[in-house]
């Protein structure tokens, strides 16, 4: 730490303006402390006496002289990321998060803000950057992901002592875009699709639709995770681009119930593959299958043959949630089955409204509200004499 020196500063007048000059400790790029000269405008000399200027100078220098001032840094955002964040923090994140952060930094953040010193990076700079991303046509969620990455890096800079506060906090992301309608197959469409799928894609589709599992969790299942006796599946890991990892969140690690029909399907899968301690969906080398390859080989051609819109494995998770809603399953149970931390996510994102359910609900309301009214009207008409035809 740089040696603390008491200073009164120097008040000068230039062009009718009173300035305070003093020295300030800063952190150099290699982490060493330096002193640099600072000049702060106090006010017009015509409105600010010398005594008033000294009082203002005392207020500015008080935290520095008291040792409460945190030295700022000359390190650029690019240097901080490459020399510290990428080495100390990034390797400890999930592989999918690492990939997302690297892409956001290399494609968007560093080209625009990388050469700025951390002490020069203001909230207005971050706001202009985020607004410019939206102007390039990026979707709001993509813009939010980029901002989240930048905020995470700057939060670490605050924790490391390079900044007093995170300038990415409080940024406005703009209005939400209208949510795109996701195609959810009907039970009949799902049955037709499953009939067109070859193995192991058929079993995977039935597993995802029957449990609401994520595709990475399904690909990471081992044979011992399937408990046919107790009709349950243990979700304890996830796989991303061939790398095993922990599930998405703590809530994602759980034991899921399965029905007897799905258990029969999985029993057939186990019988074909053998009950060895390996992955449930494995290639000849015993490695987990690639879901992208399976989608291109089985899922997409089957959808095309049925003239269905193309959708990914993740749609089966939405299908499971939607059918839970159609059967009026309580939100708390649906949340536990999908392993969401927030029930609002279960309701607002994964539970899609089915047209038949809406019609049935409208008919129920109609019966409640209109039955008495119509009964009374019919009784009134019966009591009113019909006008004779002339």
Q: What is the pLDDT of residues 202-215, one digit of tens each?
A: 999 999 988 888 99
The pLDDT assigned to 388 comes to 41
CA-CA distance, 236 to 233, in Å (whole number)? 10
CA-CA distance, 116 to 128, in Å (whole number)? 14
CA-CA distance, 114 to 76, in Å (whole number)? 7
DSSP H or E stretch at residue 257: strand 254-257
CA-CA distance, 212 to 195, in Å (whole number)? 20
Q: In this predicted model, what pLDDT tens digit does every residue of 4-27 receive, in sequence order?
A: 567 778 888 888 888 888 777 665
Q: Tell me: cis bond preceding 200? Omega within 30 of 0 counts.
A: yes
Mean pLDDT score of the chain: 81
Identify which has the larger pLDDT, 42 or 306. Answer: 306
Check if the beta carbon of residue 339 is closer than 8 Å to that of residue 254. yes
Please say if the pLDDT value at position 131 is more than 50. yes
The pLDDT assigned to 305 comes to 95
The pLDDT assigned to 374 comes to 53
Nearest to 197 by CA among 324, 105, 304: 304
The pLDDT assigned to 189 comes to 92
Question: Can you tell me the mean pLDDT for 219-237?
Answer: 90
CA-CA distance, 108 to 119, in Å (whole number)? 20
Q: Cα–chain-centroid distance for residue 334? A: 20
Please say if the pLDDT value at position 354 is more than 60. no
Nearest to 109 by CA among 97, 121, 95, 96: 121
What is the phi-psi region of residue 15: left when phi exceeds 0, alpha when psi lies from -120 to 50, beta otherwise? left
Token reading at 229: 């006796």
Identify which has the larger pLDDT, 189 or 2. Answer: 189
- Residue intervals of the chain classified under CATH 1.10.150 are 77-159
Question: Can you tell me the mean pLDDT for 136-154?
Answer: 91
Look up the pTM and report it: 0.64
Please return the burial class of 162, using the count of CB atoms within 10 Å of its CB with bins 0-12, 13-18 and 19+: buried
Share of the chain above pLDDT 70, in %: 79
3-class secondary structure per residue, 25-47: EEECCCCCEEEEEEEEEEEECCC
Identify which has the larger pLDDT, 107 or 67. Answer: 107
Please return the burial class of 145, using the count of CB atoms within 10 Å of its CB with bins 0-12, 13-18 and 19+: middle
Task: Give long-range contacts, CB 8 A cutoff, 24+ apart: 232-237.
Answer: 232/256, 232/257, 232/258, 233/258, 235/339
Please return the burial class of 188, using the count of CB atoms within 10 Å of its CB with bins 0-12, 13-18 and 19+: exposed
CATH class of the domain comprising 187-350: mainly alpha
Q: How many CB atoms within 10 Å of residue 351?
A: 20
Nearest to 220 by CA among 202, 199, 241, 244: 244
Residue corresponding to tokens 């930094």: 105
Please say if the pLDDT value at position 262 is more than 50. yes
CATH topology of domain 77-159: DNA polymerase; domain 1 (1.10.150)
The pLDDT assigned to 69 comes to 56
The pLDDT assigned to 199 comes to 92
Q: In this predicted model, what pLDDT tens digit does every residue of 50-88 receive, in sequence order?
A: 888 888 888 877 777 776 555 555 688 998 999 889 999
The pLDDT assigned to 335 comes to 82
Residue corresponding to tokens 């700022």: 72
- Residue intervals of the chain classified under CATH 1.10.443.10 are 187-350
What torsion do the CA atoms of 119, 120, 122, 124 make, to the nearest 10 degrees?
A: 180
Check if the beta carbon of residue 33 is closer than 8 Å to that of residue 45. no
User: Helices (DSSP H) in 288-387: which residue ranges?
Assistant: 291-294, 300-305, 314-326, 331-338, 343-345, 355-383
Identify which has the larger pLDDT, 369 or 309. Answer: 309
111-115, 122-126, 272-276, 320-324: least confident range: 272-276
The pLDDT assigned to 156 comes to 93
3-class secondary structure per residue, 83-117: HHHHHHHHHHCCHHHHHHHHHHHHHHHHHHHCCCE
Please say if the pLDDT value at position 253 is more than 50. yes
152-156, 179-183, 260-264, 296-300: least confident range: 179-183
């Amino acid at each position: 730490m740089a040696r603390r020196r008491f200073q009164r500063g120097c008040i000068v007048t230039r062009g009718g303006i009173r300035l305070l000059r003093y020295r300030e400790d800063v952190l150099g790029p290699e982490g060493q402390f330096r002193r640099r000269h600072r000049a702060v405008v106090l006010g017009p000399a015509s409105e600010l006496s010398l005594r008033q200027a000294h009082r203002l100078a005392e207020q500015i220098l008080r935290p520095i002289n008291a040792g409460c001032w945190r030295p700022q840094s000359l390190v650029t955002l690019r240097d901080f990321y490459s020399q510290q964040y990428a080495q100390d923090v990034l390797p400890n994140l999930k592989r999918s998060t690492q990939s997302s952060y690297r892409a956001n930094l290399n494609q968007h953040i560093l080209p625009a803000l990388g050469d700025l010193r951390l002490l020069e990076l203001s909230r207005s700079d971050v706001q202009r950057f985020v607004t410019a991303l939206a102007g390039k046509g990026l979707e709001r969620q993509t813009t939010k992901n980029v901002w989240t990455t930048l905020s995470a890096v700057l939060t670490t800079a605050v924790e490391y002592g390079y900044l007093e506060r995170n300038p990415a906090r409080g940024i406005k992301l703009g209005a939400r875009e209208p949510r795109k309608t996701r195609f959810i197959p009907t039970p009949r469409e799902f049955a037709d699709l499953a009939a067109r799928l070859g193995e192991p894609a058929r079993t995977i589709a039935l597993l995802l639709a029957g449990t609401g599992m994520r595709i990475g969790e399904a690909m990471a299942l081992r044979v011992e995770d399937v408990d046919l006796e107790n009709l349950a599946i243990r979700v304890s890991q996830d796989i991303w681009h061939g790398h095993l990892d922990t599930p998405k969140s703590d809530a994602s690690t759980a034991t899921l119930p399965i029905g007897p029909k799905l258990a029969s399907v999985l029993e057939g899968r186990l019988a074909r593959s053998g009950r060895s301690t390996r992955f449930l969906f494995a290639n000849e080398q015993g490695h987990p299958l690639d879901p992208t390859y399976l989608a291109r080989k089985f899922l997409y051609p089957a959808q095309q043959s049925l003239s269905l819109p193309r959708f990914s494995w993740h749609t089966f998770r939405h299908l499971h949630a939607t059918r839970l809603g159609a059967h009026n399953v309580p939100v708390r149970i649906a949340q536990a089955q999908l392993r969401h931390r927030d029930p609002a996510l279960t309701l607002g994102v994964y539970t899609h409204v089915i047209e038949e359910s809406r019609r049935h609900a409208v008919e129920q309301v109609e019966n409640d509200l209109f039955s008495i009214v119509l009964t009374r009207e019919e009784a009134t008409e019966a009591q009113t004499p019909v006008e004779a035809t002339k």
